[in-house]
């Protein structure tokens, strides 16, 4: 194949791929419906009036594994309190790709790691991931009780350092909201493994 034909083929493939959305802090979070590891359907708009945390995850990713050595579980426990907060872990890995799980395996992982999300949403087609422009695992999105995105991006400011010494952006964003302030930063570049979407 000539270079020109290769470029045209690549451009055609990109044009055929589903587009990624741009998430803008302060604007309405895109509504979605997803099915969890127990076959239960969840629609974001049903959680109006609650804080919703979206966590993109991939159990095969070393960055996710590092945070699940205790940091993520502690964060879930600290932030997922009462009936006013909903924590949804989202798996956007496609079948055959790193991190892909079906219901029973997702449940086993949650139990073995001592994790406590309200649900693990299975997104093998990547529809929710692309809707939120999710590019990495872990990636976090904080949606307030009014349905507005308040934070989107990395879990903290330390891709390689100890999580307990890092600035946790998600926790800082929630603290800012609790104190009546706008989160700053409200958006960062997520680090980790690329989300394993279908090609």
Identify whether 132 is part of a domain. yes
Q: What is the pLDDT of residues 106-154, one digit of tens each?
A: 999 999 999 999 999 999 999 999 999 999 999 999 999 999 999 999 9
Check which CATH number belongs to the domain holding 40 and give it.
3.40.30.10
pLDDT at 64 over 50: yes
Q: What is the pTM of this model?
A: 0.89
Domain span at residue 38 reads 25-194
Q: What is the pLDDT of residues 77-92, one digit of tens each?
A: 999 877 899 999 999 9
What's the confidence (pLDDT) of residue 48?
95
pLDDT band at 160 (very low <50, low <70, confident <90, very high): confident
Identify whether 20 is part of a domain. no
Closest residue by Cα to residue 192 from 148, 126, 139, 141: 139
Identify whether 106 is part of a domain. yes
Number of domains comprising the chain: 1
- Residues with Cβ within 8 Å of 84's Cβ and at least 6 positions away in sequence, in order, are 50, 51, 145
Instruction: Give me the chain's average pLDDT, please.
Output: 89
Q: What is the pLDDT of residues 169-188, one digit of tens each?
A: 999 999 999 999 999 999 99
Identify whether 11 is part of a domain. no
What's the confidence (pLDDT) of residue 21?
65
Q: Cβ(128)–Cβ(34) under 8 Å?
A: yes
Q: Cβ(142)–Cβ(150) under 8 Å?
A: yes
Identify whether 1 is part of a domain. no
Q: Cα dist. 22→32, 128, 129, 185 in Å? A: 15, 13, 11, 17
């Amino acid at each position: 194949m000539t270079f020109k034909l290769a470029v045209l083929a690549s451009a055609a493939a990109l044009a055929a791929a589903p587009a990624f959305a741009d998430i803008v802090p302060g604007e309405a979070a895109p509504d979605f419906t997803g099915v969890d590891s127990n076959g239960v359907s969840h629609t974001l708009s049903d959680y109006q009036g609650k804080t919703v945390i979206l966590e993109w995850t991939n159990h095969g990713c070393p960055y996710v594994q590092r945070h699940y050595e205790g940091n993520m579980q502690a964060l879930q426990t600290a932030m997922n309190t009462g009936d006013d907060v909903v924590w949804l872990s989202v798996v956007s890995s496609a079948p055959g790709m790193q991190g892909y799980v079906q219901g029973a395996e997702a449940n086993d992982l949650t139990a073995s790691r001592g994790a406590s999300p309200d649900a693990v949403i299975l997104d093998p087609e990547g529809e929710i991931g692309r809707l939120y422009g999710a590019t990495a695992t872990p990636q976090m999105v904080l949606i307030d009780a009014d349905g507005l995105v308040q934070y989107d991006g990395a879990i903290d400011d330390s891709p390689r350092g100890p999580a307990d010494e890092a600035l946790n952006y998600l926790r800082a964003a929630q603290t800012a909201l609790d104190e009546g302030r706008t989160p700053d930063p409200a958006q960062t570049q997520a680090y980790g493994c690329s989300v394993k979407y279908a090609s």
